[in-house]
Chain A
Amino acid sequence: MHDNDHTEDGSRHGVSTKAVEIVVAAIIFGLGLVAIFDSRRVGAGWGDDGPQAGYFPFYIGLILCAASAWTLLRAAFSEHAAAGVFVSRKKLRLVLSVFVPSLIYVLAIYFIGIYVASAIFIGAFMYWHGRFPWIKIIPVSLIVPVSMFLLFEVWFLVPLPKGPLEALIGY
């Protein structure tokens, strides 16, 4: 995989594995600290009626901190443990080109409901990534949300987030 990386354009530039390794381990360490402190807050010892609420999570937090510290130190000081490029810029752009639209899609659900957002999301994705002609984009991006609408709202009676358009047709 690394051999491929080096033949690609601009592949040597990118985020190093070491940096990502350290950041992820540090975040996990932080979460371990959260678990420890919150367990101390609710009581991590022995109450009148047995173990307190923080008894178990306290030790979980301790082990979490120890394990992530181990990973962090290994990544920081060992040469071969975290070598190479985590993701080249080119690949990062590809990943973000899926993630950012997905994020916008999820935020859009809050305002226009899941069905309209899905139609726009699928259509936009097909336009930007697949370079499909509109004659293909429009049917696909409509069929999926409409069949979902029938499946969930009509047959299974499971309500999903809806927006102004659905309100117009009485849902």
Chain B
Amino acid sequence: MRGDRQPPLATGGGDRGVEEFNSLMQGFSVALTYHNLLYMLVGILLGVLIGVLPGLGGANGVAILLPLTFTMPPTSAIIMLSCIYWGALFGGAITSILFNIPGEPWSVATTFDGHPMAKTGRAGEALTAAFTSSFVGALVAVIMITFLAPLVAKFSLKFGPPEFFAVQLLTFCSFVGLGKGHPAKTISAMMLGFALAAVGLDTVTGTLRMTFGTTELLRGFNFLIAVIGLFGIGEILLTMEEGLAFKGVHARINPRVVWHTWKQLPKYWLTALRATLIGCWMGITPGGATPASFMSYGIAKRFSKTGEKFGTGEIEGVIAPETAAHAAGTSALLPMLTLGIPGSPTAAVLLGGLLIWGLQPGPLLFVEQKEFVWGLIASMYIGNVVGLIIVLTTVPWWAAILRVPFSIIAPVIVVICAIGAYTVNNAMLDVVLMLVFGVVGYLFKKLDYPLAPMVLALVLGDMAESSFRQSMLLSRGEVSIFWSNGLVGSICGLAMLMLFWPVISKLLQHMRRGNNDLDEARPVE
């Protein structure tokens, strides 16, 4: 099933669907080589391990392993790293259901019904439902990427610097509009990311910024260090505070349970469809997998016939968040590949990887690096199938890992983080900075400062700055360039709507309440 399946009209190019299909088949021929399949397998296994262990997650797991891939061919490297991401998405469900401990933030909503199911002896059923619905969510998202990404890329080829800056502005304003935290804190976290990104050598003018005469700060703050510290060390500190004792439910999955669960899943197609739509939407706009899973759970609860039983072990309560989380996690790669704007922290780390491997993410990637892009997209199909099979067959082993006491796991994770931080630049200062970021991560998490916008700003800082500067050069310093034509104007308008959404929604609520004083029962969100 190598490249020979591709139909002979590759040069015709008339029909868009056919063109995508051909490119995808070529991608499969890239992804299905022995060594790429091996990297895929290693990636999934590492990913599930990372997803199961507290303190190691998709973002910092990929960040730690990124330096080891610098010497690999970029296509193999991204296949392995994205498979780590899929594995982590699968792995999060295992700990949520068996141990009531979300291994990943996006699997918190899975604990609500997954763990009660496990406690009543339906662990196998819950796990099968979780894995299968994750798989379905991811599959739909990948199909969407296959057909939508080339269109978006083609469309954005027309983008100039003002349009790119407008899209970046929209990304960051969406955090304010869609995020659950207080707008002041979201903005603070984001701007802190931008400020840290500005430290070091300014590549346009060659000026040193905020280095204060030190040579160590010349390189600037590497986002990988920030990710390892914020998500790794910060998470360990938080976990320790909670004084976790891992008490889990034993689970066995046999083909009979899997078959039995699969038979009842089609009943919930509507829940899965809603969850997928929410997931894809939240993944493309930088909402990310975590809010998507919560939102999907909430909506499933409201629309389900058995909504009042949610929380006691309803299979629908597992399907909804898992489908949405996986769909969001996957579709976060769409804006990363086509516009160079990641939809999630892990996608941001992968984007940083692209830059390190010398690939410029954005619309040109689809023109110049066809093999890379389609190899990656094909690997998403295969990776998720392989992932589903692996997690279904190996659950007991992963559960056994969590029975290793935290007093062994914690120091080992700190050691792994330290090595990961050191290997980024072979610098000890980075290891110290990792600890500092760990404290920042702990404080920010406890004070409800969102970490995702900070990481994204740190990754995108240079790019956003250069598109802003280029726009200013074009317009000779006139800000009006950002509403000079319909396209850039509407993106900026949307961005402003997002930025002021917290204020607007409050005003709307006020008006509604003013009109109808009796309508007090309406829940205020």
Residues of A within 8 Å of B205, CB to CB, are 47, 52-53
Q: How far is the CA of A95 from the CA of B472 in the complex (A)?
A: 47
Residue from the set B194, B411, B468, B473 with the largest chain A CB neighbour count within 10 Å = B411
Q: Which residue of A lies closest to B236 (CB)?
A: A98
Residues of B within 8 Å of A99, CB to CB, are 237, 435, 438-439
Determine the main DSSP class of A at the interface with B: helix
- Check if B210 is an interface residue, CB within 8 A of chain A: yes
Q: Is the CB of B188 within 8 A of A71?
A: yes
Distance of B202 from chain A, by nearest CB (Å): 4
Q: Is the CB of B407 within 8 A of A24?
A: no
Contact check: which of B67, B210, B241, B410 meets A91 at CB < 8 Å? B241
Q: How far is the CA of A53 from the CA of B211 in the complex (A)?
A: 13
What per-residue 1/0 map shows which CB atoms of A105-137 lie under 8 Å from chain B? 110011000100010011001100110100000
Q: How far is the CA of A121 from the CA of B408 in the complex (A)?
A: 10
Q: How far is the CA of A25 from the CA of B184 in the complex (A)?
A: 10
Q: How far is the CA of A31 from the CA of B184 in the complex (A)?
A: 16
Distance of A92 from chain B, by nearest CB (Å): 8
What per-residue 1/0 map shows which CB atoms of B390-423 lie under 8 Å from chain A? 0000000000000001111011101100110011
- Check if B431 is an interface residue, CB within 8 A of chain A: yes
Contact flag A105-B423 (CB < 8 Å), given A52-B205, A64-B191, A156-B68:
no
Q: How far is the CA of A61 from the CA of B67 in the complex (A)?
A: 31
Determine the main DSSP class of B at the interface with A: helix
Q: Which residue of A lies closest to B414 (CB)?
A: A102
Contact check: which of A28, A114, A125 meets B419 at CB < 8 Å? A114
Q: Is the CB of A60 within 8 A of B194?
A: yes
Q: Which residue of B lies closest to A39 (CB)?
A: B209
Contact check: which of B204, B408, B426 meets A126 at CB < 8 Å? B408
Counted as pairs of residues, one from A and one from B, with CB atoms less than 8 Å apart, the total is 167
Q: How far is the CA of A160 from the CA of B420 in the complex (A)?
A: 10
Q: How far is the CA of A63 from the CA of B205 in the complex (A)?
A: 23
Residues of A within 8 Å of B236, CB to CB, are 98
Residue from the set B188, B407, B438 with the largest chain A CB neighbour count within 10 Å = B188
- Check if B494 is an interface residue, CB within 8 A of chain A: no
Residues of B within 8 Å of A145, CB to CB, are 415
Q: Is the CB of B423 within 8 A of A56?
A: no
- Check if A76 is an interface residue, CB within 8 A of chain B: no
Distance of A131 from chain B, by nearest CB (Å): 8
Contact flag A20-B447 (CB < 8 Å), given A122-B415, A152-B419:
yes
Q: Is the CB of B408 within 8 A of A140?
A: yes
What per-residue 1/0 map shows which CB atoms of A131-161 lie under 8 Å from chain B? 0100000001000110010001000101111
Contact check: which of B408, B432, B469 meets A106 at CB < 8 Å? B432
- Check if B428 is an interface residue, CB within 8 A of chain A: yes
- Check if A94 is an interface residue, CB within 8 A of chain B: yes
Residues of B within 8 Å of A106, CB to CB, are 418, 431-432, 435
Contact flag A160-B405 (CB < 8 Å), given A28-B192, A67-B187:
no
- Check if B140 is an interface residue, CB within 8 A of chain A: no
Residue from the set A86, A102, A121 with the largest chain B CB neighbour count within 10 Å = A102
- Check if B446 is an interface residue, CB within 8 A of chain A: yes
- Check if A50 is an interface residue, CB within 8 A of chain B: yes
What per-residue 1/0 map shows which CB atoms of B159-194 lie under 8 Å from chain A? 000000000000000000000001011011001101
Q: Is the CB of A71 within 8 A of B185?
A: yes
What per-residue 1/0 map shows which CB atoms of A40-62 lie under 8 Å from chain B? 00110011001111111100110
Contact check: which of A87, A102, A125 meets B407 at CB < 8 Å? A125
Interface residues on B, range: 35 or more
Distance of B68 from chain A, by nearest CB (Å): 6
- Check if A165 is an interface residue, CB within 8 A of chain B: no
Distance of A94 from chain B, by nearest CB (Å): 5
Contact check: which of A38, A39, A51, A114 meets B469 at CB < 8 Å? A51
Residues of A within 8 Å of B68, CB to CB, are 156, 158
Residues of A within 8 Å of B318, CB to CB, are none
- Check if B157 is an interface residue, CB within 8 A of chain A: no
Q: Is the CB of A56 within 8 A of B198?
A: yes
Distance of B190 from chain A, by nearest CB (Å): 9
Q: Is the CB of A51 within 8 A of B407?
A: no
Contact check: which of B198, B405, B444, B472 meets A130 at CB < 8 Å? B405
Contact flag A53-B207 (CB < 8 Å), given A35-B195, A114-B419, A129-B407:
yes
Q: Which residue of A lies closest to B203 (CB)?
A: A53
Q: Which residue of B lies closest to A52 (CB)?
A: B205
Distance of A79 from chain B, by nearest CB (Å): 15
- Check if B243 is an interface residue, CB within 8 A of chain A: yes
Q: How far is the CA of A99 from the CA of B241 in the complex (A)?
A: 11
Contact check: which of A34, A56, A125 meets B411 at CB < 8 Å? A125
Q: Is the CB of A160 within 8 A of B198?
A: no
Distance of B368 from chain A, by nearest CB (Å): 28
Q: Which residue of B lies closest to A29 (CB)?
A: B188
- Check if B443 is an interface residue, CB within 8 A of chain A: yes
Q: How far is the CA of A95 from the CA of B428 in the complex (A)?
A: 24
What per-residue 1/0 map shows which CB atoms of A8-25 lie under 8 Å from chain B? 000000000100110011
Q: How far is the CA of A64 from the CA of B423 in the complex (A)?
A: 31
Contact check: which of B187, B188, B438, B443 meets A20 at CB < 8 Å? B443
Q: Which residue of A lies closest to B184 (CB)?
A: A70
Residues of B within 8 Å of A38, CB to CB, are 209-210
Residues of B within 8 Å of A118, CB to CB, are 415, 418
Residues of A within 8 Å of B422, CB to CB, are 114, 160-161
Q: How far is the CA of A130 from the CA of B419 in the complex (A)?
A: 24
Q: How far is the CA of A130 from the CA of B205 in the complex (A)?
A: 54
Q: How far is the CA of A52 from the CA of B205 in the complex (A)?
A: 7
- Check if A169 is an interface residue, CB within 8 A of chain B: no
- Check if B355 is an interface residue, CB within 8 A of chain A: no
Q: Which residues from 414 to 469 on chain B have a C-beta closer than 8 Å to any C-beta of chain A?
A: 414-415, 418-419, 422-423, 426, 428, 431-432, 435, 438-439, 442-444, 446-447, 449, 465, 468-469
Can you name 11 A-B pairs with beta carbons within 8 Å?
A43-B207, A56-B198, A56-B465, A57-B195, A57-B210, A74-B182, A101-B411, A125-B408, A126-B411, A129-B406, A158-B68
Of all A-B residue pairs in the complex, the 6 with the closest CB atoms, nearest first, are A130-B407, A53-B207, A129-B407, A125-B411, A64-B191, A70-B184
